[in-house]
Amino acid sequence: MIERVPGFNELARLATKFYQQRLINDVKSDGRVPKHVGIILDGNRRFAREAGMPTWAGHASGAEKLEEVLEWCREVGIKHVTVYAFSTENFGRPREEVEALMDMFAEKFKKIARDGRVRRHKIRVRVIGDRSNLPKRVIDAIGEAEGATSGYDGFSLNIAVGYGGRAELVDAIRKVCERVERGELKPEEVDEQLIASHLYTAGTPDPDLIIRTSGEERLSGFLLWQSAYSELYFCEAHWPSFSKMDFLRAIRTYQSRERRFGR
């Protein structure tokens, strides 16, 4: 087989590296790098199953992949990333899996609070979603991460945990109704901008591009309001297998589209 030819693997590696660098240059030179990218991290369990690993190992691999992808985002100039890590529906998964995920979240958020890369690149971390069903250890770790990064403005990372798009809209509308009831607002003052200011992502621009891995082609409740005019990109690779080439192709596909915003 050709793979057995001496030096073949090294040549293939160099060719891949060359092509990646060319794609990076194309992405940067295009000038239309998305400001905000949303990512639905799908396929951790399928990746683990196909590799003969336990489910928790798939989630661990997915967490490592996220760190890689954030580096790629910064490399091409993306300023905001929102990732769908754990939905409200995910609480219905087997108890052992949910507990393992909660342990991982607690560990990762504590790590963020003291991570030198986070300080160096001034990455602000916010967790969006309903925290009422999260264990105290996770809520405390989230507080550490958000507190340690609250003053940073170099890059923003929103992590959706215990998140549901419909629940977010209900929460926003409830807050607006409470303000109307208190006399702070008149009903005729309620508009799109006001509702957007009460969403979990308030202060972050709407996503230009949403990427979903593992072959599923739906949003599953992710950023329902904010994604009204987002470009969507669906990738077959499971999240832990998502490669830099997959990422760059997603950005190039975004750049090739003409965004009309309903016009």
Active-site amino acid positions: 42, 90
Cβ atoms 165, 201 nearer than 8 A: no
3 state DSSP class of 128: strand
The two three-digit tokens of residue 25, written as one number: 């240059």
Sorted by sequence, the CB contacts under 8 Å of residue 202 that are 6+ apart come out as 196
Cβ atoms 66, 161 nearer than 8 A: no
The two three-digit tokens of residue 2, written as one number: 């050709």
Cβ atoms 60, 51 nearer than 8 A: no
Angle between helices 55-76 and 244-256 (to 10 degrees): 50
